[in-house]
Amino acid sequence: MGNQTQLIVDQKEAEPEKINAVVTRSQEAKLKSEPKNVEKEGNSETIRAEVQTIDECQLPPSDDGSPVSLLRVNREEFKTAQASDKSLLGCWEKGKKSNNAEFEIENEILFRKVKDHRGEIRKQVVVPSKLRVEILKLCHEGVASHLGTTKTKDKLLRYYFWPNVIKDTEEFVRTCHPCQKVGKPGETKKAPLKLVPIISEVFAKLNVDLVGPLPESENKNKYLLTAM
């Protein structure tokens, strides 16, 4: 039995063992430092062209800080409109005072300073009269739908300010034609409450009202007549 086993072992061809290839850190660094040969010059030109195309497609970030770029108004036009607006005379006078904590003039542009909910100072651009309607449209007309009064005011006051801005915003939203046609859910006007006089005698006065429509009864009735 032992001789047969030895014969099988001798006849079996030796197979090489499979070993996982390992690359050390020094070998990896050496491979990265070695220049890679490109077989065809055309391939390298294609690679360079692709890299150049990607770089050209990247858009630089907007760092000019312009608060009215969406209104198609440049800095000089905005500065002139702001300086010549008579409704902003009081704001300009406050901004020119060094000890004023509400308004300040920065690079010839008038800003209003407010504290947000975290206590940090935030600057609002003071908008002249000729641009206020466009600002209201920009803040009220959202991407999906027109915003309500509260959301429009919150969005506008993040960046902009002018005298009576709250009143103007409420009036703008209230008179918005698309909002009047479609209406806003949850803004249905409720009937005003009325004071009921005190009754001194029983059945001296009756209050009658209808309740419904309710699910139909067997007799096809939908309403209840109530009397108090």
Cβ distance 225 to 208 under 8 Å? yes
Is 25 inside any structural domain? no
Is 158 inside any structural domain? yes
Residues 6+ apart with CB under 8 A from 92: 83, 103, 105, 110
Indicate the number of domains in the chain: 1
pLDDT, one tens digit per residue, over 30-45 is 666 655 554 444 444 4
Position 34 scores a pLDDT of 58
Is 70 inside any structural domain? no
| Cα–Cα distance measured from residue 87 to residue 80, given in angstroms and rounded to the nearest whole number | 14
Is 113 inside any structural domain? yes
Is 6 inside any structural domain? no
Is 94 inside any structural domain? yes
Which residues share a beta bridge with 210? 225
- Cβ of 148: how many Cβ atoms within 10 Å? 17
Is 111 inside any structural domain? yes
Residues 6+ apart with CB under 8 A from 106: 123
Position 205 scores a pLDDT of 79
In the predicted model, residues of the chain with pLDDT beneath 50 are: 19, 38-69
- Expressed in angstroms, the distance from the first to the final Cα of the chain is 114
pTM of structure:
0.47
Boundaries of domain holding 149 = 75-182
- Cβ of 153: how many Cβ atoms within 10 Å? 18
pLDDT, one tens digit per residue, over 79-117 is 888 888 888 888 888 888 877 788 888 888 888 888 877
Position 199 scores a pLDDT of 77
Is 216 inside any structural domain? no
CATH code for the domain of 110 = 1.10.340.70
